[in-house]
Amino acid sequence: MSSAVDTSTRRDILGASAIRPDSSAKVQGKFEFSSDLHAENMLWGATLRSPHPYARIIRIDLSAAYKITGVEAIITAEDVPGKKTYGLISSDQPVFAQDYVRYVGEPIAAVAADHPETCRRALAAIKVVYEILEPLTDGDLATLPSTPAIHPDGNVIRRQQIITGDQNLQGEIVVEGTYEIGMQDQAFLGLEAALAIPDSGGKGIEMFVATQWLHEDQKQIAACLDFECENVRLTLGGVGGAFGAREDISLQVHCALLALRTSRPIKMQYGREESFYGHVHRHPAKISIRHHATREGEILRIEARLVFDGGAYASTSSAVLINGITHIQGPYRCPNATIDGYAVRTNNPPCGAMRGFGVVQACFAHESQMDKLAAACGLSPVEIRLRNAMVTGDKLITGQIIESVAPVARCIRETDAIELPEPLAESANQLEFVGGSGLTSLPQNIVRGVGWGVSIKNLMYSETFDDFATARCQLKDGVATLKFATVEVGQGFVVLAPQIARSVLGVDDVVLDTVDTGIGSAGSTSASRQTWMSGGAVDGACRLVRQRLFEHVGKKYNIDPLRLVIEDTDVVDMIGDFRISVVEASSGVLIDETFEHHHRPTEELDENGQGNCHVAFAFVAHRAVVDVDVELGLVKVIQIATAQDVGRVLNPIAALGQIEGGIAQGLGLAVMEEIVLDNGKMRNPSFTDYLLPTALDAPSVVAVMIEEPEPQAPLGAKGIGEPPCISVTPAIAAAIRNATGKELSRVPVRPQDICF
Amino acid sequence: MNANTEIYSLTVNGKSHQVKDSWVGESLLYVLRERLGLPGSKGACEQGECGSCTVIMDGDAVCSCLVMAATAIDADIRTVEDLASDGVLTEVQQAFITEGGVQCGFCTPGLVVAIEHLLSKNPEPSEIEIKEAISGNICRCTGYGRIFEAVDKAITVRKVNRT
């Protein structure tokens, strides 16, 4: 259910539930994912990984592996011709470990062979002699200067404080807590895969990869190969989900090096276990936080210490940290703050981007606190949030003024207005009970609970990053052809881009050109940014083409081009009676325009954490209803009610899909998803042991989309990808607290947390 | 890989295929995708947990990643490639498209096969029967809401089409 109803627009323009152009191929199994690619004379590549969280490599012996029939090449750190390291913000991660391994799963060597099984046997035959070292696996310990550094860059990746207002203020009401968030995996279904085809002279390479950002991959791969960027040509291979995990390089450089070494095409594809080792995860975090407030519940000051465990290499940890500390106030006014944040290096698996990017962790802490504050003030969870809800024009703890549309109170009220589900009937099918097909729960042990979560999320990249997007539009004979390097990971830009072109140009036929590095960057498909950024670029390119079309028509028919507008599929004189179809108007001419969309500039935070570091913000409220078997510690999420600040709905069915999908991921973090670590080693790197929400776990989702167009956004629409997964996690945790009376300061909430 | 190879044939989508020079340890999923040119079935977990590789084997929905190809020589195997005939999509496929059941699409072939299988045995399943039937198919993008809509739509359209 949604408030944004498709107003039965006939044409697939903005606002219509247009059909994805890739969906027909996808339902038939004909869509080509990167793992489906093949080339003549192709070899398979595979990676040898460290079994130790921290060790010194004494010797690598490849001789036995080379003796296996079918093995064509084995490469290690010494075979990397260019830069030996890579990384998104700082280049600190070795392509292959050279002297030390710093996490379980760190690449040491790669093999090319005639069959995946030959690769596996060759990897097993490589002998590595290690000196095993004591790993650093405690994030708090990593913040201490006395802890020995595990990397030449030190253990503290970034420390940032936010100091504003009265540093000694004490509230009449003080509530505090320490909250922990476990390590979550993106768990996209389409495993990492790439095909690399070397140029015949070995001076260049063509790659088909599943990534989130072609140009960033290109830059990092080229540096490691010691090639010019233009000699590393990337084309997007079909991407089976991403959620942040494809922002970093995984197998790209290894695959390219093997192809260049063997002069043959190389296909690399991770299995599920290797995928857990091969990509970054959501940072586990520990957040200690104290709220000072008046008796009426008005927040006066927040003190907080946040530690994000970045694992062995930096990835995007420094940006994740900034998101965490700058969102720790939540969508609430707060005049005084004392915040100290660390992103640290440990011998745990590397962490980086995942949907919500640092805000998920902060939100669990601030929303848990809001409920404590409500209880201390004798207010309801809704009332405490409404009393503190921020509005446009409010100042954040960073000093930045919220210029975005900020319908926080409206999100809360509209969520509150959604009808609660019926109580569980005693006569219900037992499969409907907590525990599902296990048929384990007795009705008298099931307790229902309700909980709230509300969040604020920044959109686009922050702290001076100019993550622009480029698009090209060509119009000829009524057909618009769009070219961009915007990565489709499943979110639906492939349906949105033609909708924009149809709306702006009055065409019906829109062709999407290949997504590759043959055009300028589109930035990453992350940070809820592509509708705004690449949507803005497509919109801009189409508007330039439209202007040229009007000039052409004006000249040909002797009308002032400024009088021309597009009406449906016609070019129309708005004050005369001239009308011509766009197909006819563009007949025989080729209009070709390229546009770069840049968001407004942002600033770095100063030493007190002050600065206009973010571009814009979106808001959302969630209310969770759960059934808990208090004896067995099992939880079933019955309903999630939500109202989300979306700016403007451009494709209702796609928007709803983002909201429902995000909620499922937030549900996963709340009650089941965690990479369990034991002294740096993953205990559950498989879908048997890392639990994901199934159809039986999916709650009823009742969603309201709040449309208050965002003036800054090119299409009035805010990014909608991340907010759904952020405050749903604390809402579910709060609902379990409501049902059980337990404090539950850690997610995921496990059965033992409820029972004991 | 030349050791332990043997030629055998598999009956897939009503056609007999020779499998040559293969290693006997290959899964049915690998053989379909890498040897028979049928990449519609997807691999995402190798443990029978995610359902992306679901095919119909002698009338049962199975995870092809868990079937050793060489043991399937007498079986009738049907894959996602067998569903649409002459470009005409099934009601389930069509409903996935119109109801927004497709995002990244990696789980889609397995889900479509699992739902076709359910409806072939039980044309009007209850909500809980639908959820149970597809609970072995993980979708990470949609949260299942649009997939439930697609199943409901397919059931309705199927009923009209077949009466």
Q: Enter the tokens of residue B59.
A: 């009338």
Evaluate whether residue A149 is within a structural domain.
Answer: no
Evaluate whether residue A558 is within a structural domain.
Answer: yes
- Let me know whether B68 and B97 are in one domain: no
Alpha-carbon gap: B50 to the closest alpha carbon of chain A (Å): 7
- Let me know whether B120 and B153 are in one domain: yes
Evaluate whether residue B128 is within a structural domain.
Answer: yes
CB contact under 8 A, A431 and B128: yes
pLDDT of residue A22: 98
Show the low-confidence residues of chain B (pLDDT under 50). none
Structural domain span for residue B148: 91-161
- Let me know whether B57 and B18 are in one domain: yes
- Let me know whether A257 and A298 are in one domain: no
Show the low-confidence residues of chain A (pLDDT under 70). 1-9, 437
Look at residue A692 and give its three-state secondary structure: coil
Q: Of A555, A581, A597, which residue is a domain's last?
A: A597
| CATH number of the domain enclosing B152 | 1.10.150.120
Structural domain span for residue A329: 285-462+604-755
Q: What distances in angstroms separate CA A300 from CA A289, A379, A473, A619, B161, one per listed residue?
A: 14, 17, 51, 21, 64
* CA-based nearest residue to A50, from A114, A11, A88, A96: A96
- Let me know whether B63 and B101 are in one domain: no
Q: Of B80, B107, B141, which residue is a domain's last?
A: B80
Q: Which residues pair with A85 in a beta bridge?
A: A94
- Let me know whether A301 and A428 are in one domain: yes
Q: In angstroms, rounded to a whole number, what is the distance separating the alpha carbons of residues A249 and A234?
A: 13
Which B-chain residues 110-149 have CB contacts (< 8 A) with chain A? 112, 128, 130-132, 134-148
- Let me know whether A736 and A667 are in one domain: yes
- Let me know whether A658 and A640 are in one domain: yes
Q: What one-character DSSP code corresponds to residue A478?
A: T
Evaluate whether residue A424 is within a structural domain.
Answer: yes
Q: Enter the tokens of residue A582.
A: 């766009």
Evaluate whether residue B1 is within a structural domain.
Answer: no
pLDDT of residue A5: 42
A432 interaction partners in chain B (CB closer than 8 Å): 128
Evaluate whether residue B157 is within a structural domain.
Answer: yes
- Let me know whether A381 and A401 are in one domain: yes
Q: What one-character DSSP code corresponds to residue A358?
A: T
- Let me know whether A308 and A257 are in one domain: no
Q: Of B33, B50, B80, which residue is a domain's last?
A: B80
Q: Which residues pair with B78 in a beta bridge?
A: B56
- Let me know whether B102 and B138 are in one domain: yes
Evaluate whether residue A183 is within a structural domain.
Answer: no
Look at residue B54 and give its three-state secondary structure: strand
Residues A653 and B149 sit within 8 Å (Cβ to Cβ): no
- Let me know whether B68 and B98 are in one domain: no
Q: In angstroms, rounded to a whole number, what is the distance separating the alpha carbons of residues A476 and A479?
A: 5
Tens digits of per-residue pLDDT, A658-669? 999 999 999 999
Which one of B102, B132, B146 makes the best mutation probe of the A interface by having the most chain A beta carbons within 10 Å?
B102
How many CB atoms within 10 Å of residue A24? 19
B104 interaction partners in chain A (CB closer than 8 Å): 188-190, 239-241, 489-490
Helices (H), ranges, A313-470: 317-326, 359-377, 381-388, 408-416
- Let me know whether B70 and B106 are in one domain: no
Q: What is the count of structural domains for chain B? A: 2
B96 interaction partners in chain A (CB closer than 8 Å): 23, 27
Evaluate whether residue A542 is within a structural domain.
Answer: yes
- Let me know whether A592 and A479 are in one domain: yes
End-to-end CA distance of chain B, in Å?
Answer: 53
Tens digits of per-residue pLDDT, A529-579? 999 999 999 999 999 999 999 999 999 999 999 999 999 999 999 998 999
- Let me know whether B58 and B118 are in one domain: no
Evaluate whether residue A141 is within a structural domain.
Answer: no
Amino acid at A358: G
* CA-based nearest residue to A417, from A619, A623, A708: A623
Sheet holding A107-113, edge to edge: A71-75, A107-113, A43-49, A266-269, A193-198, A205-209, A232-236
Evaluate whether residue B34 is within a structural domain.
Answer: yes
User: Is pTM, for the whole model, over 0.95?
Assistant: yes
Q: Of B47, B80, B113, which residue is a domain's last?
A: B80
CB contact under 8 A, B99 and A19: no
Q: In angstroms, rounded to a whole number, what is the distance separating the alpha carbons of residues A347 and A243?
A: 23
CB contact under 8 A, B142 and A657: yes
User: Which residue on chain B is closest to A493 by alpha carbon?
Assistant: B103
| CATH number of the domain enclosing B73 | 3.10.20.30
- Is residue A576 packed enough to be buried (19+ CB in 10 Å), middle (13-18) or exposed (0-12)? exposed
Residues A77 and A94 sit within 8 Å (Cβ to Cβ): yes
H helix or E strand, kind and range, residue B114: helix B108-121
Look at residue A151 and give its three-state secondary structure: coil
Sign of CA dihedral A707, A710, A716, A722: negative
Residues A713 and A702 sit within 8 Å (Cβ to Cβ): no
Q: What one-character DSSP code corresponds to residue A139?
A: H
Which one of A1, A27, A530 makes the best mutation probe of the B interface by having the most chain B beta carbons within 10 Å?
A27
- Let me know whether A71 and A217 are in one domain: yes
Q: In angstroms, rounded to a whole number, what is the distance separating the alpha carbons of residues B18 and B15?
A: 10
Q: Enter the tokens of residue B118.
A: 């359910």
- Let me know whether A445 and A305 are in one domain: yes
A238 interaction partners in chain B (CB closer than 8 Å): 105
Q: What is the count of structural domains for chain A? A: 3
Evaluate whether residue B68 is within a structural domain.
Answer: yes
- Let me know whether B95 and B140 are in one domain: yes
Residue A240 touches partner B, C-beta closer than 8 Å:
yes
| CATH number of the domain enclosing A59 | 3.90.1170.50
Q: In angstroms, rounded to a whole number, what is the distance separating the alpha carbons of residues B122 and A663?
A: 30
- Let me know whether B12 and B65 are in one domain: yes
Residue A463 touches partner B, C-beta closer than 8 Å:
no
Q: What one-character DSSP code corresponds to residue A210?
A: -
| CATH number of the domain enclosing A649 | 3.30.365.10
Q: What distances in angstroms separate CA A487 from CA A35, A192, A320, A527, one per listed residue?
A: 16, 15, 22, 13
ipTM value of the model? 0.98
- Let me know whether B102 and B139 are in one domain: yes
Which one of A1, A119, A694 makes the best mutation probe of the B interface by having the most chain B beta carbons within 10 Å?
A694
